[in-house]
Amino acid sequence: MNQAELIQLGLSLVAVLFVAWLVGKLGLGADPRIEDAAHAIRLAEEAEAGFKGVEVARDHAGFAAIVRNAEGRMMLVRAHGNHFAARPVDAAVMGRLDKEFLTLTMPEKTFGAVTLKLGKEAGMWASRMRDLNCG
């Protein structure tokens, strides 16, 4: 290799390292998870002013959670890219129970369906979904 090729190689390496550093600094490519119930409540409360969460059903992997307030209203919080998105759960939301899994399909097609692995709690939360549809 001649000197010009070595300089070009060195500059290319510096550029690649800079881009990798910048991606990390911006948080791109992150794998956000809902850490615990308190984190899920905080995300729901940030999404809707006045919403005060009291109970949480968190997906075992931490990708999504359902947060309920004292009045029985519910909010679905899910990972969306490297951030989180939240939507109210109401009678327009379709819920489907499959053993330990609860799938919620929002009327907003761009939000998509969310499947939460809730374990033994899945049936209780599915029942709450039925109550929304009846009330």
Q: Using CA of residue 92, residue 96, residue 102, residue 103, what is the dihedral sign?
A: negative
Q: What is the CATH number of the domain that holds 65?
A: 2.30.29
**Residue 102 β-bridge partners:** 97, 116
The residue with tokens 């097609």 is: 109
User: H or E segment at 115?
Assistant: strand 113-117
Return the pLDDT at 27: 66
Could you tell me if 103 and 81 lie in one domain?
yes
| Entry pTM | 0.76
Return the pLDDT at 133: 62
Return the pLDDT at 77: 96
Could you tell me if 24 and 43 lie in one domain?
no
Return the pLDDT at 85: 93
Number of domains within the chain: 2
Q: What is the mean pLDDT of each run of 10 residues along the chain (135 residues)?
A: 84 84 72 92 94 95 94 92 89 91 92 92 89 65
Could you tell me if 65 and 22 lie in one domain?
no
Domain of 48, in residue numbers = 37-134
Return the pLDDT at 112: 84
